[in-house]
Chain A
Amino acid sequence: MGLLTEIQPLPWEKAKKYANHIRDHGITQFLSIYNKTKDREKDCLLWGDEIEYMIITYDDEAKNVKLSLRALDILNELQKEEEEASKKGYFMFYSEKVEASWQPEFASYMIEGIPSNPYGSTLKSLLRVERNMNLRKKIVSKHLRPNESIISIPNFPRLGCPGQFLVPQHELFGPKLKSLFLPDEAMNSQVKFEYVTINGAINDRRGSKVAINIPIFHDKKSPNLFSECEEALPDHIYMDSLVFGVGCCCLQTTIQTCNIGEARKLHDQLAVLGPIMIALTAATPIWRGYLSDVDSRWPALVESTDERTKEERGLEPLKNDRFVINKPRFDSIAYYIADDKTLKKEYNDQNTVYDQNIYKKLIDNGIDELLARHMSYLFIRDPLFVVENALDQNDDESSDHFENIQTTNWQTVRFKPPPPNSDIGWRVEFRCMEAQITDFENAAFVAFIILLTRIIISYDLTFYIPISKVDENMINAYKRDALNSEKFWFRKNIFANYDGTEDKFEQMTINEIINGDGKEFPGLIVIMFHYLESINIDIETRYHLGNYLEFICMRASGKIQTTATWIRNFVRSHPNYNYDSMVSQEINYDLIKMVEKIQKGEVKVPELLGEFKIQFN
């Protein structure tokens, strides 16, 4: 029997009074952690991954597929199982090894799975990633009913459509979400009311419901002007709730670095790669049943969590709010933070506002300028989830107030200090990638990021370009077929000991960045292969890593399609498609059925996966 605590999170009107308190103490907590761990050295390479999954249920007779709220029950069963297995292990000294851990997510049809223990510290461990991902699906499958399934594409194409997309069905326009398209039940209201509170805080702080506008894809027979209601921008698909954004499935990876310096360096370098990886993993072309002109979940996430007021967005003169903020909470990074000779001052050129008082406090307490500015930028935000009886904390032992602000800054990369009193080191979290259909693909992309960090350190690579150019890249990254049709600013002189005086950057295609331009730019994968020849690697690991890299090579070159392109093509070649951008219930049913078959290796799709074997032995 556990402890029953009354968790009473505060509604926004009350919560906002404690914003300064939480910020103040959050910074003190950060300083405490920093001072205790800034000299940590020689931490090993460890990493983990997180994937979010959707639980769906088929209605074969009606040719419909729906999201299932049974995800919440399944999650409870999984967590109980996990607890039992670890208890057994503790008391009996043998254990049904606990391999995977489960967490709830914002949407009530989603669950999140992670490996119970981090991978590492040799490259051989990269082979465990796909096995663990496969295992997660197997574990969940034991709890599924015959007509249920678990999939990991970023979004459910008909979420928010008329008709039934959620089971059990509930009424739209509930008191919490007030959404024209979703019932309140789509949002997870368990978990200490955390998500419900955050949702309320965002809308109340902003002064209106969030508005997500995604440009629609105009097909041959699409209506000339697409306009649903006055909130919607013309020719855009309109969505009015947080759930549309945070209800998307992502693929994230966290990497432990050897010390704080390496964490700061990798934070910056991976941030530049953010847009590249969005374009490579793009898998979200459909919104609310319409084909859109974007291929990634990113713009929806940015808009669905934007709690800035009109004043902060610069739409009205500043009266009540402190700053005009040019970046929403969910966005690419605002500042580079590494102490690196190749980071020129002028590359931090977005000049996003930061809290001068917090900045001064950090500087006065020994934090250098770059890190101080990063923290004081993150800390301009208000805490969205405030629990009254948890306000007073021991700042030397707790990091709750710090994490409150830190984890509700949703950036492309997150610089993570060690938790207080733990053996865990400085880490970097890479948050951009979209969940792919198969675990082969997901594991390949995780391997790519880990190998990317190894070559950055081994070869002393530097990708610095002005942050404004990274932001430009972000906008191009989520456009339809960005991989083949967009170019991205990228640095040409990527080896740090370059003799020349001027840094060179150019707009390059994803193919050139990953596979080389045939001239002086070698290509990231080419460097990875070169790296694999410089380490002691056993033949089986080399073989599988070779497959992962060859696969990404082919995606980057356009020889095989991104998931987004494949989904688009599936829809547009479906016999019932009317060339009007609309994804009907039946098309969606066939699409999801096909996604499931691909995931299980029951069907070959060379246009998406080449000839790669997607089931791990």
Chain B
Amino acid sequence: MSSPEFSNVNTVIVYTGNVMKQANINTLKAELASCLENSLKNVHSSYNIDQTRGILEVPSPYDLSYKLKDRDDFEITVKLFYLPSSSTSDDNPSTLPPSYISQSLHHLFCLLGITYVDSFIVYFNGLLFDDQDQDDSNLVMDDFEALVEVWKELESQYRNEKIKKLGVSEFTKNRFERFLDVVEIPPKIDQINFKSCCDLPNRMINYAKEHDIELLTHKDPADILPLATFQKILKDTNFPFTSKLLPRWVLKYSVLVKCREVVANKG
């Protein structure tokens, strides 16, 4: 059943809710998929629509009571995943729209009632970490320029005090060196996929120590939201206008209580 008020919608923002309180101990991919399904299934009980801009939020962030009191007690880290179908340009499918940064931040700020995040890490789809890489044959010139464009937008947010620390994901020593040549504000964080089987990546560890970079780990999969999974969720939940929606980005956020190492909110 299609709803007439959704006819102008061109953008849908879906919130997962606080994953920590959903008794859902699963891989990140599976958790994301099941949370998305949950939110979309219940679209008619909670949503917020901006008719002028054509933006639909499911569920409504105003229905979720996540607004933070005592902002200084918390450390908020976000990670933006640029998905494979992130490009909105048909001519140049490898562009990474920098606008996703301000867009995702805006919605997070609404959700949590905040005006800045402590760390923003960006993940460029397809990048993999390998401590031994001799040259970065993974990254061709076009892609690299796209990264730098995104970074410029992050630098702007940083200067506007919306972000306190900038970070990248899966950057090797070589990637870093190449990057540092062309950006103004260097990344202070590099988040690497942790493989428990392997030894510590000492080359990167030493480089990070020398350049005052926090070397963090994660276990996020490279393809956090495959297109096929997304389309299946749309179908299964009978979400209106399924065929035209493409997943562009995922913003993962963590609200940590400082000096207690307690995760207050994650989604």
Given contacts A459-B20, A539-B194, contact A534 B263 (CB under 8 A): yes
- B22, B28, B73, B263: the one contacting A42 at CB < 8 Å is B73
List A residues 524-547 near B (Cβ within 8 Å). 526-527, 530-531, 533-540, 542-543, 546
What 0/1 pattern do residues 459 to 497 of A give for CB contact below 8 A with B? 110000000000000000000000000000000000101
Q: A457 an interface residue at 8 Å Cβ cutoff?
A: yes
Q: Which residues of A contact B217 (CB under 8 A)?
A: 537-539, 542
Q: Which residues of A contact B215 (CB under 8 A)?
A: 538-539
Q: A351 an interface residue at 8 Å Cβ cutoff?
A: no
Q: How far is the CA of A542 from the CA of B259 in the complex (A)?
A: 18
Q: Which residues of A contact B256 (CB under 8 A)?
A: 535-536
Q: A94 an interface residue at 8 Å Cβ cutoff?
A: no
Q: B180 an interface residue at 8 Å Cβ cutoff?
A: no
- A122, A457, A539: the one contacting B216 at CB < 8 Å is A539
Q: Which residues of A contact B22 (CB under 8 A)?
A: 497
B261 touches A543 (CB 8 A): no
Q: Which residues of A contact B203 (CB under 8 A)?
A: none
B194 touches A534 (CB 8 A): no
Q: How far is the CA of A411 from the CA of B254 in the complex (A)?
A: 37
Q: How far is the CA of A533 from the CA of B73 in the complex (A)?
A: 21
What 0/1 pattern do residues 17 to 56 of B give for CB contact below 8 A with A? 0001111010010000000000000000000000000000
Smallest distance from the beta carbon of A550 to chain B beta carbons, Å? 8
Smallest distance from the beta carbon of A560 to chain B beta carbons, Å? 18
List B residues 201-216 near A (Cβ within 8 Å). 201, 205, 214-216
Q: B235 an interface residue at 8 Å Cβ cutoff?
A: no
Q: Which residues of A contact B77 (CB under 8 A)?
A: 536
Q: A121 an interface residue at 8 Å Cβ cutoff?
A: yes
Q: How far is the CA of A536 from the CA of B28 in the complex (A)?
A: 16
B23 touches A498 (CB 8 A): yes
- B75, B119, B194, B205: the one contacting A542 at CB < 8 Å is B194
Q: A258 an interface residue at 8 Å Cβ cutoff?
A: yes
Among residues of A, the one whose C-beta sits closest to the C-beta of B263 is: A458
A526 touches B254 (CB 8 A): no
Q: Which residues of B contact A121 (CB under 8 A)?
A: 259-261
- A45, A533, A537: the one contacting B28 at CB < 8 Å is A533
- B196, B205, B220, B266: the one contacting A540 at CB < 8 Å is B205
B23 touches A497 (CB 8 A): yes
Smallest distance from the beta carbon of B228 to chain A beta carbons, Å? 24
Q: How far is the CA of A546 from the CA of B196 in the complex (A)?
A: 7
- B119, B216, B262: the one contacting A458 at CB < 8 Å is B262
Q: Which residues of B contact A537 (CB under 8 A)?
A: 216-217
Q: How far is the CA of A531 from the CA of B25 in the complex (A)?
A: 9
Q: How far is the CA of A77 from the CA of B205 in the complex (A)?
A: 41
B196 touches A534 (CB 8 A): no
Smallest distance from the beta carbon of A535 to chain B beta carbons, Å? 6
A460 touches B260 (CB 8 A): no
What 0/1 pattern do residues 250 to 264 of B give for CB contact below 8 A with A? 000010100111111
B261 touches A454 (CB 8 A): yes
A535 touches B261 (CB 8 A): yes
Q: Which residues of B contact A498 (CB under 8 A)?
A: 23
Q: How far is the CA of A538 from the CA of B21 in the complex (A)?
A: 25
Q: How far is the CA of A542 from the CA of B198 in the complex (A)?
A: 12
Q: B192 an interface residue at 8 Å Cβ cutoff?
A: yes
Q: How far is the CA of A44 from the CA of B216 in the complex (A)?
A: 22
B259 touches A526 (CB 8 A): no
Q: Which residues of A contact B262 (CB under 8 A)?
A: 45, 454, 457-458
Q: Which residues of A contact B261 (CB under 8 A)?
A: 45, 121-123, 454, 535
Q: Which residues of B contact A536 (CB under 8 A)?
A: 75, 77, 119, 214, 216, 254, 256
List A residues 490-538 near B (Cβ within 8 Å). 495, 497-498, 522, 526-527, 530-531, 533-538
- B25, B201, B266: the one contacting A522 at CB < 8 Å is B25
Q: B218 an interface residue at 8 Å Cβ cutoff?
A: yes
Centre residue among A42, A522, A530, A539 by max chain B CB count within 10 A: A539
A533 touches B263 (CB 8 A): no
Smallest distance from the beta carbon of A185 to chain B beta carbons, Å? 46
Smallest distance from the beta carbon of A529 to chain B beta carbons, Å? 8
Question: Which size class do B's interface residues fall under?
Answer: 20 to 34
Q: B128 an interface residue at 8 Å Cβ cutoff?
A: no
Q: B159 an interface residue at 8 Å Cβ cutoff?
A: no
Q: How far is the CA of A435 from the CA of B264 in the complex (A)?
A: 34
List B residues 224-267 near A (Cβ within 8 Å). 254, 256, 259-264, 266
Among residues of B, the one whose C-beta sits closest to the C-beta of A457 is: B262
Q: Which residues of A contact B67 (CB under 8 A)?
A: none
Q: How far is the CA of A495 from the CA of B261 in the complex (A)?
A: 19
Q: Which residues of B contact A539 (CB under 8 A)?
A: 192, 194, 200-201, 205, 215-217
What 0/1 pattern do residues 24 to 58 of A give for CB contact below 8 A with B? 00000000000000000010110000000000000
Smallest distance from the beta carbon of B190 to chain A beta carbons, Å? 9
Q: Which residues of B contact A542 (CB under 8 A)?
A: 194, 217
Q: Which residues of B contact A458 (CB under 8 A)?
A: 20, 262-264
B23 touches A533 (CB 8 A): no
List B residues 79-136 near A (Cβ within 8 Å). 119
Q: How far is the CA of A45 from the CA of B257 in the complex (A)?
A: 10
Q: Which residues of B contact A550 (CB under 8 A)?
A: 196
B259 touches A533 (CB 8 A): no
Smallest distance from the beta carbon of B262 to chain A beta carbons, Å? 5
B266 touches A534 (CB 8 A): yes
Centre residue among A454, A497, A527, A536 by max chain B CB count within 10 A: A536
Q: How far is the CA of A460 from the CA of B200 in the complex (A)?
A: 33
Smallest distance from the beta carbon of A613 to chain B beta carbons, Å? 12
Q: How far is the CA of A534 from the CA of B194 in the complex (A)?
A: 13
Smallest distance from the beta carbon of A309 to chain B beta carbons, Å? 45
Q: How far is the CA of A546 from the CA of B260 in the complex (A)?
A: 20
Q: Which residues of A contact B178 (CB under 8 A)?
A: none
A535 touches B254 (CB 8 A): yes
Centre residue among A44, A120, A459, A495 by max chain B CB count within 10 A: A459
Q: Which residues of B contact A546 (CB under 8 A)?
A: 194, 196
Q: How far is the CA of A516 from the CA of B75 in the complex (A)?
A: 31
B254 touches A531 (CB 8 A): no
Q: Which residues of B contact A460 (CB under 8 A)?
A: 20-21
Q: How far is the CA of A522 from the CA of B31 in the complex (A)?
A: 14
List B residues 119-168 near A (Cβ within 8 Å). 119
Given contacts A45-B259, A45-B260, contact A534 B205 (CB under 8 A): no
Further pairs besides A497-B23, A537-B216: 12, Cβ < 8 Å = A44-B259, A45-B260, A458-B20, A531-B263, A533-B219, A534-B254, A535-B254, A536-B75, A539-B200, A539-B201, A539-B205, A542-B194
14 contacts between A and B (CB under 8 A): A44-B259, A120-B259, A122-B259, A454-B262, A457-B262, A458-B264, A459-B20, A497-B22, A522-B25, A539-B200, A539-B201, A539-B215, A543-B194, A546-B194
- Chain B residues with a Cβ under 8 A of chain A: 20-23, 25, 28, 73, 75, 77, 119, 192, 194, 196, 200-201, 205, 214-220, 254, 256, 259-264, 266
7 closest A-B pairs by beta carbon, nearest first, are: A495-B23, A44-B259, A121-B259, A458-B263, A522-B25, A542-B217, A45-B260
- Chain A residues with a Cβ under 8 A of chain B: 42, 44-45, 120-123, 258, 454, 457-460, 495, 497-498, 522, 526-527, 530-531, 533-540, 542-543, 546, 550
